[in-house]
Copies of this chain bind each other. A is one copy, B any other.
Amino acid sequence: MDVLLRCINSAFFLSHDIRRDAEIHLVLQGAPNPPRTIRLVGSELKYLNPDERSTAALVRNALMQKIAAEERASPGFYVSARSYRDVLSLLPKGGQIVYLKENGKDVRDFEFEEDVTFVLGDDQDLTKEEEETLLQYDPKIVSLGPVSYHADHCITIVNNELDRRHKA
C-alpha cells in the first residue's frame, strides 16, 4: 500500500500543483481479488492528497470490490479488473513504450516522443513472464543511473528529466 501511495505522489505532485498531463496505471496482483488496476488521470483529479486516508481507502476498496468494467471511484480515479497484459494491450497505439531497467540506455541521452509510457516493477523487478509480455511491444530500454531505485524514486527522476526537456 505504501509503495502505491508513494508512486501516486511521485507521479502527480509538484510543490504547489498537480501534473495534469500525467496518468498512472497501478496493476495490483495481490490477494484477495487479483488483478485490479487503478488508473489515475491527472487532468481529471480533484482534491488528491497522497497523505490523506481517502486515497488509501480508495485503493483498499478497489481491492475488495467485485468489478466488471472499469468504474470511476472518484474524479480521475478509475478501478478495473484489468491485468498487466490487458493494460499493455490498451495503451494508445503508436505511443512510445519505455522499460526502465538497470542495463538500459542512459535516460539523459534518450529521445522521448510526445506520448510516452514508462513500465516499471514495484520493489520487485518484473517477472520473466511479465518481461516477455512487455518485450512483444518492442519497448525502449532505459536506465536512470548506476544504482537500482525504488519505483517511486524512478518516477520522480523520470519526471525531472521530462521537466527539463519541456523547458528546453
Contact = CB atoms under 8 A, between A and B. Distances in A.
Interface of A: 2-3, 6, 9-10, 13-17, 50-51, 123, 144-150, 153, 156-157, 159-160, 163-164, 166-167
A61 to B, nearest CB: 20
A150 B13 contact: yes
Given A51-B2, A160-B145, A123 B167 contact: no
A153 B10 contact: yes
Contacts of A2: 50-51
Given A6-B6, A6-B9, A163 B145 contact: yes
B148 A14 contact: yes
Nearest to A164: B145
Contact of A14 (B3, B13, B51, B149): B149
A164 B146 contact: yes
Name the residue among A144, A147, A163, A164 with the largest chain B CB count within 10 angstroms. Answer: A147
B167 A146 contact: yes
Closest 7 CB pairs of A and B: A15-B148, A146-B167, A2-B51, A156-B156, A153-B156, A145-B163, A157-B160
A2 B13 CA distance: 14
